[in-house]
Amino acid sequence: EDQVTQSPEALRLQEGESSSLNCSYTVSGLRGLFWYRQDPGKGPEFLFTLYSAGEEKEKERLKATLTKKESFLHITAPKPEDSATYLCAVQTNSGYSTLTFGKGTMLLVSP
């Protein structure tokens, strides 16, 4: 069974304090790994897709990286508006078009 585990469950940072969120996965064959951001009361919003080990994607203060067993979402010099829950999801070669999500990391950035 495909498994996606995110850590930590919650993270509190000061503005400007860089850190990383982890997403480890156990799947039969990875097709793609997705990162989403979810604000309270809203649906998840797509951030990145990574397809192969060694791949990196960047968007503003966020950078996502991928290895054969895990992905990291690095947040550089975060701002309060980066506060949200970050979800990672995997798509497998046998899972057709579906995504299996982790439970997310709730990030709070204090000014």
Residues that bind another protein (CB under 8 A): 32, 34, 36, 41-46, 49, 87, 89, 91, 96-104
CA atoms within 13 A on the CB side of 59: 11
In the complex with another protein, which residue's Cβ is closer, 87 or 109?
87
In the complex with another protein, which residue's Cβ is closer, 10 or 77?
10
Q: What values do phi and psi take at 82, rounded to 5? A: -80, -5
Angle formed at CA 41 by CA 66 and CA 37, multiple of 5 degrees: 15
In the complex with another protein, which residue's Cβ is closer, 14 or 60?
60
In the complex with another protein, which residue's Cβ is closer, 65 or 91?
91
Q: The dihedral of CA 48, 60, 9, 36: what is its sign?
A: negative
Residues 51, 29: Cα–Cα separation, whole Å = 11
Q: Hey, how many other C-beta atoms are within 10 angstroms of the C-beta on 14?
A: 9
